[in-house]
Structure 1
Amino acid sequence: MVLRIVPTVAFPTVQDAIDVSSPGDSIKILAGKFDGFEVTVQGLKIFGCGIGRTIIEGVPAGGGMNGVLVIANLNMLQGFTIQGFIGNGISVVNNGCILKDIESINNQGAGFLIINPDNYLTRCIAAFNTTGYNITTSSLVFDCQSFLNKMNGFETIGNDISIINSTSEKNGENGVLVGETNTIFENKIQNNRTDGVELTDENSNIQRNTICHNGSNGISVLTGVSGNSIDSNIVRNNGTDITNAGILVEDGAMDNDIRFNKAKDNVEFDIEAQGAAFADNTFDANQCGSSDPATICT
């Protein structure tokens, strides 16, 4: 196992250090500004001096558009900022990587693009990108932040993705766009321009989140969506017009369980089941001030 320091005479760039490394080696990036890089060796630890001190903002990785491109398995990246790229801040296209204490800001694509399974992100920040986090397959995101992105804060459009104890706020579209068999647990989702949480597929668990002050619905369950559990969320002060609700279940959504939620001061209803949605889904033990039908509230 070898530790390589960037920049030095031997390794003026991060890519120089990666290209001669072997699995198990470490690369320390000092404070300063550096070009993007492509991680082509598995099992490396690449760490900077911290967010805002080690900054990746120069030439994109591998001659492309992304700041950092990870194409090898089982790497750990920690402690730096990625900013200002035409593509994504960081793209992970392999398995079993850990991203920790990484800030990805002001990129024209996603702050974080994760397209292979079993990756773990913690204490990461995505801001001022087009999308904060675009995750297309099973991964865990814990204690991360997404704010002021142009579109969605989190897009969990793949299967078996968990977003836990994280924050999504002030994004230009939805706070969290949810795909199939995802878990959205104990997050703060607030002040997003459209929905706090939008469910587009089946069998996800939306539990114990605080969902407040979003411009459209707090939680929306779209037509054709089924098998989701919406349980024990606090949903307050969402919506701006009569088409909105704290929890909106559209006509054609089926077999979803909406239980034990506390909804208050939403526009126009705290909980609304459109058309046949009241009969086709389960509403149980929700506390709310107004609903359509009125029997939803207890």
Structure 2
Amino acid sequence: MRVERLSILVFIILIFSTVLEEVNSYSINGNAVIRVPDDYLTIQDAIDVAKSGDTIVVGPGVYYETLYIDKPLSLMGENRENTIIIGSGHGSVIYISSDNVLLKGFTVKGSGNNYISPFDGGDAGIVLNSCKRCILSDLVVTGNCIGIFLNTSDGNIIKDNIVYSNSRDGIHLRMSNGNIIIRNNATLNRGHGGIYLNPYSSYNLIAGNTCGRNADHGIKLQDSSNHNILRNNLLIDNENAGIFLRKSDYNILYNNTCIGNRHNPGIILYISCDNNIIAGNICISNDEGISIQHSSNGNWLVNNFCLNNRVRGILLWSSSSNILVNNIIKWNGKDPYGTAGIYISDSSQIKIYYNNISMNWRGIVVEGDSSININIHYNNIMRNIEWGLINKASREVNATLNWWGDPSGPDICNVVEETDQQDPEEIKGNIAYNPWLIEPYKPGNILRYMDIRYPIWRTVKRTLLIIETLNY
């Protein structure tokens, strides 16, 4: 695992020193400037006569065309609001098969509706097919099947675009690596949502995007989409999850904000998502805050805020070796059934350290006979409505060295329920709780403890510090 973490560090350095340098070193000021409609009436005619490195400038107007770009050039509209390319309703509107293409300043609409499969894509407003070092910038892409489709295309930049109301995916990466997807607005798309990586799309940077009101997820990574960085994205009011991962490992989800995603968690790792870092995210008013499910193992949840989610703040379901450190988990759970700040079901080797777990319907719930080796230490657990900690499983939960809201320790309770929200916290079940903390934990002790007990923590810290310095 440590080698994998270090490979992420190498990627972070290389993605900016290689992709940005190579893209920016390509001159968009070619040997000639061709103007449409002054020099040629159609954009495709201008493309056909252009030489490598030429620039085509397109004046305002509506152009009913399907474009094929097979040479390195710059194609720029004067203004994206009134320089509009409308396809024929069959196939893709703009198909790019060359490296080093700049496309900027258009509205693109009117692709066909052929969608092959989630693994193979389909018609799109803009397609990059086996391309490198291309830039798609300052575009409006709407009314297509897929908005922007990268197929086996590496090292491209997709930035500052509005991609909305497409019948399938907003931005779809298929088998595409090392791309930079930044500052896009991907909203009101159907299919798989705003930004979709499936399959085998790795080492991409997805940062500063807004994905809202999509019919599925805000951002979705699926089927061996590994080593990606998702940073500073806003995921709001999507029908399903804000961020969804399936069978994808070693990704970093950092400083994203997930608000009001209706029927799924703000962030979910679903089926065999291993060794991901989920750090510094804000998950508010979702169905759940963060959910780790179905054999998703070895993940780190660090410094997240899970607040006011309808059912649970954090769910660990049939997963092992996950570590929760320094999360704020408050006001989660709107009704008694299955709600808690942290809910652990049939999960093992769980470590919960230095979290603030307060004012939830229940603080922590453990259930399922497969829930073994649950370690809960140095947490502030207080003012939860029903229980601070209830263990419904048969195996003992190790919950020593926690602050229960009172120097006298927890209240051992055998009644069916407690709803007084008074400290000390009530606990129930097979729980080792003595000794306890006689005052709240001090945040300054966190790093020292983690450095000593978990050397891999130092690699996690270095990774997060480098991500914090990235500019885009």
TM-score range, shorter chain: 0.7 to 0.9
1:159 to 226, 244, 247: 226
**Closer, same or farther: CA 229–31 of 1 in aligned 2, 3 Å:** farther
1:13-162 alignment, distance < 5 Å: 13=43, 15-34=44-63, 35=65, 37-42=67-72, 44-49=73-78, 52-59=81-88, 60-61=92-93, 65-71=123-129, 72-85=131-144, 87-93=145-151, 94-115=153-174, 116-130=176-190, 131-136=193-198, 137-138=201-202, 139-157=204-222, 158-162=225-229
Structure 2 residue identity aligned to 1:132:
G
Return the alpha-carbon distance in structure 1 between the equivalents of residues 345 and 188 of structure 2: 35
- 8 Å CA contact 2:260–2:284 kept in 1: the answer is yes
- 8 Å CA contact 1:47–1:78 kept in 2: the answer is no
Equivalent residue for 1:219?
Answer: 290
Deviation of 1:6 after TM superposition, in Å, equals: 4.2
Equivalent residue for 1:12?
Answer: 42
Structure 1 residue identity aligned to 2:194:
G
- Within the alignment, does 1:206 sit opposite 2:206 as a pair? no
**Closer, same or farther: CA 5–111 of 1 in aligned 2, 3 Å:** farther
Equivalent residue for 1:249?
Answer: 316
Equivalent residue for 2:345?
Answer: 274
Instruction: Give secondary structure in 2 for the equivalent of 1:202.
Output: coil
Equivalent residue for 2:237?
Answer: 170
Return the alpha-carbon distance in structure 2 between the equivalents of residues 97 and 20 of structure 1: 25
Deviation of 1:126 after TM superposition, in Å, equals: 0.7
Query: CA offsets, 1:85-111, max 9 Å, x none?
Result: 1x2011112111111211111111111
Q: Which has the larger radius of gyration?
A: 2
Query: CA offsets, 1:172-208, max 9 Å, x none?
Result: 1110012322111111111111211011311111110
- 8 Å CA contact 2:351–2:376 kept in 1: the answer is no
Structure 2 residue identity aligned to 1:190:
I
- 8 Å CA contact 2:235–2:242 kept in 1: the answer is yes
Higher strand share: 1
- 8 Å CA contact 1:57–1:82 kept in 2: the answer is no
**Closer, same or farther: CA 68–232 of 1 in aligned 2, 3 Å:** same
**Closer, same or farther: CA 168–58 of 1 in aligned 2, 3 Å:** same
Structure 1 residue identity aligned to 2:182:
T
Deviation of 1:45 after TM superposition, in Å, equals: 4.0
**Closer, same or farther: CA 169–288 of 1 in aligned 2, 3 Å:** same
- 8 Å CA contact 1:45–1:75 kept in 2: the answer is no
Equivalent residue for 1:196?
Answer: 266
Instruction: Give secondary structure in 1 for the equivalent of 2:288.
Output: coil
Structure 1 residue identity aligned to 2:268:
E
Structure 1, unpaired ranges of 5+: none
Q: Name the % identity.
A: 24
**Closer, same or farther: CA 79–262 of 1 in aligned 2, 3 Å:** same
Structure 2 residue identity aligned to 1:126:
A
Deviation of 1:37 after TM superposition, in Å, equals: 3.8
**Closer, same or farther: CA 12–227 of 1 in aligned 2, 3 Å:** same
Return the alpha-carbon distance in structure 2 between the equivalents of residues 92 and 258 of structure 1: 35
Structure 2, unpaired ranges of 5+: 1-29, 96-110, 113-122, 334-338, 367-374, 381-472
Task: Give the aligned length.
Answer: 287
Comparing both chains, which one has the higher relative contact order based on Cα–Cα distances under 8 Å and sequence gaps of 6 or more? 1
**Closer, same or farther: CA 3–232 of 1 in aligned 2, 3 Å:** farther
Q: State the TM-score, normalizing by the size of structure 2.
A: 0.56
- 8 Å CA contact 2:171–2:195 kept in 1: the answer is yes
Instruction: Give secondary structure in 2 for the equivalent of 1:160.
Output: coil
**Closer, same or farther: CA 106–227 of 1 in aligned 2, 3 Å:** same
Instruction: Give secondary structure in 2 for the equivalent of 1:266.
Output: coil
Return the alpha-carbon distance in structure 1 between the equivalents of residues 70 and 331 of structure 2: 52
Equivalent residue for 1:187?
Answer: 256
Deviation of 1:227 after TM superposition, in Å, equals: 1.4
1:228 to 294, 299, 305: 299
